[in-house]
Structure 1
């Protein structure tokens, strides 16, 4: 075991390991004895022109970012529109120094076709500013549907000049899709991959050489455990991650009514005039309505069965719920955002008090309405 950890990837320099495909440095054990063994990520880039997704936790990721400020680079930050506040790297600015940041907002195909795209772009820019992010430009796209991706590649080409390109983002935001497109457009992969080492960390990014002797730097995806998608059992991810345009569901609720989103999240309309709430979440996630006075008993009786996911076998692995009390001001247009689940738009203007019960650590907040 000790011997294996001293073998480094000939492509990116990271210590190789053969235990876990999902963490950096994985290579099949049969390849570790080769003279120039490389990790699976470098192998896929070199042989298939394809980057694969590797993830790290938040602390390791922030160490990795520490060297960007001293470079002359374009930083491409990819966020997930469906989970905007959950996937944006709010502390990015202090790591990139004076380097320009291009914000690429993916998964716009999930929004209804009647969406006002100019309004959405303004909303994204406002939310980014409030998160402390200064961006040189914003591009909306869909990696899955190849919508706006030509504009993304064109904008990167215009902005980078002779700079390297760092691509950063959380897990499941579409980072690998963008890198693969950049590889096909700009990279000459006849050259070897180069080592990219950063002071203060043993984690290595991968440099993908470009035709002008610059590089795309593929950083691992950051894991934010404040997102439901990171803590839910892997087999239940399909219930949370929408793969087609959202079909908003509107509920007319009286005070003291409750909505259950499977057994993952509970929404209580605690106080306010009768009003409607519109749910933007995956159509695969069942929603059950009940009276607030019956909510506790309903959950205890039906969690893991009618109220699922998670199922009975997975309940023990999930954190217990924390209650978040949110006060929606009168006359405002607000979303109740739950990271990884989606959001609930409060359609009334009379104000309301709501409680959201979500697994401990999950980001829950009020924000200006996206739509």
Structure 2
């Protein structure tokens, strides 16, 4: 079992988690039983919290995909765009799901829709809720029971259930049964899955709260406007956890950061970046917070070279998602430059190619993905998939 401390990173407060392999072993019997799987994914960490190979133990059982924490998305985000983006990502991952639900356990957005589909689809099946660590599973179960309690006395009684918090050391946690349905079938809470490639797996337990956004994400842009210095030749530090070297970029390139506010962003010339990090990690660059933690820090030894092309000038080229933290949108800034020097530079770089070097702690993963359509402007540049009637019929629907 993965404990909260020691060599397994910063999972806090007595919570204990299982590895993905342990969960697959524990739930392997589901392949031979009738069950309904509710799979949770955190929208702020979509790629990092997306459990892979669920079909290994789910077999042919139906899966409902629940996206959590949509209340944290930037203000004026169109959830229709988000729903379409998520469905397209799921189709590309070749995961066959009944439907996609965008939810918030805080505001209860989408929770009623999930309950309705569970009631419609369970047909006497047991219901299993699963997700990676810190995906919001406990909050979702509480929100679901609270909503169901208005009509279901069994669910009302189940509200006293406390989601999995601890276990006897040295044992592997299994699913916990909850009496939640009046009409038959059980609800099972499963332990959160520790994924080694997320930032929470490498930082100290004391620093873990700094990774959790507490309010709506706000875009933090570099450069802030088209009169500021360009990015080429500079390095941006996202706390002490990420470094992005801009080796080559168009003059109008902007990097927009979406993630927890507690992590500050600092920009320095790349020629000074190594010295700056060594001097400021644990001080200006946190987490790790404090020189004592910085001395035992693993550093940013995972490096990935990214060659990115702008296909269109009116929308972001892509997102760079950092597992367990958030993402950086790579986007054009403003209108074509009237500066002759910059115009010449753009002509020299006709392909519109950017070269970035991203540093993270090992084994944190870096994902390059289509841009998540957040904020008011996204509804103008986001393009829904063009589908035939047959494709539309087969494609899972999204709800919120």
Range class of TM-score, shorter chain: 0.7 to 0.9
* 1:100-119 correspondence runs (5 A): 100-119=62-81
Residue 340 of structure 1 is matched in structure 2 by: 324
- Equivalent in the alignment of 1:318: 297
Mapped to 1, the partners of 2:4 and 2:74 lie a distance apart of 36
Deviation for aligned residue 1:317:
4.1
Residue 309 in structure 1 maps to residue 280 in structure 2: no
Aligned to 1:255: 232
| 2:4–2:15 contact (8 Å) kept in structure 1 | no
Matching residue of 1:352: 354
Divergent runs of 4+, >3 A: 181-184, 186-190
Q: Secondary structure at the match of 2:46?
A: helix
Tell me how far 1:241 sits from its aligned partner: 1.1
**Structure 1 equivalent of residue 207 of structure 2:** 236
**1:53, 1:176 within 8 Å by CA — same for their partners in 2?**
no
Post-superposition Cα deviations, 1:108-155, rounded to whole Å, max 9, x if no partner, equal 111112212111111111112223321100000111232222222222
Alignment-derived partner of residue 207 in structure 1? 177
Secondary structure (helix, strand or coil) at the match of 1:179 reads helix
- Which residue in the other structure is 1:129 paired with? 91
C-alpha distance in structure 1 between counterparts of 2:106 and 2:58, whole Å: 28
Q: Deviations over 1:164-219 (max 9, x none)?
A: 101110011111222234445253659xx9xxxxxxx9643112233233101111
The higher relative CO (CA closer than 8 Å, separation ≥ 6) is in 2
TM value normalised by structure 2: 0.74
For 1:85, what is the secondary structure of its paired residue? coil
Of 176, 180, 189, the match for 2:138: 176
Is 2:124 the partner of 1:147? Answer: no
RMSD of aligned Cα (Å): 2.4
In the alignment, is residue 331 of structure 1 matched against residue 338 of structure 2? Answer: no
Q: 1:238 touches 1:284 (CA, 8 Å); kept in 2?
A: no
Other-structure match for 2:263: 285
Q: Is the 8 A contact 1:331 1:351 kept in 2?
A: no
Check whether the contact 2:321–2:327 (CA below 8 A) recurs between aligned residues. Answer: yes
TM-score for the superposition, normalised by structure 1? 0.79
Q: Distance in 1 between matches of 2:260 and 2:202?
A: 17
8 Å Cα contact 1:93-1:132 kept in structure 2: no
C-alpha contact 1:318 1:359 (8 A) present in aligned 2: no
For the pair 1:295 / 2:255, whether they are aligned, the reply is: no
Q: Relative to 1, partners in 2 of residues 1:294 and 1:235: Cα closer, same or farther, differing over 3 Å? A: same
In 1: Cα distance, 2:296 partner to 2:275 partner: 21
CA apart distance, 1:57: 2.0
Question: For the residues of structure 2 that align with 1:102 and 1:54, how far apart are their CA atoms?
Answer: 25
SS in 2 for 1:145: coil
The answer as to 2:50 corresponding to 1:72 is no
- How far off its partner does 1:329 sit? 2.2
Take 1:244 and 1:326, find their aligned partners in 2: how far apart are those partners?
31
Local SS of the residue matching 2:292 = coil
Distance 1:80 1:257, change over 3 A: same
Structure 1, unaligned runs of 5 or more: 1-19, 23-51, 194-200
Partner of 1:197: none
1:310-336 Cα shifts (integer Å, max 9, x gaps): 022112443332111111123162001
Call closer, same or farther: CA 1:109–1:149 in 2, change over 3 Å: same
Where structure 2 has 5 or more consecutive residues not aligned to the other structure, the ranges are: 6-13, 162-170, 224-229, 333-350, 374-400
Mapped partners of 1:132, 1:93: distance in 2 = 11
User: What is the distance in 2 between the residues matched to 1:53 and 1:157?
Assistant: 30
Paired positions, count: 315
Residue 233 of structure 1 contacts residue 310 of structure 1 at CA under 8 Å; is this kept in 2? yes
- Relative distance call for 1:53 and 1:297 in structure 2 (3 A) is closer
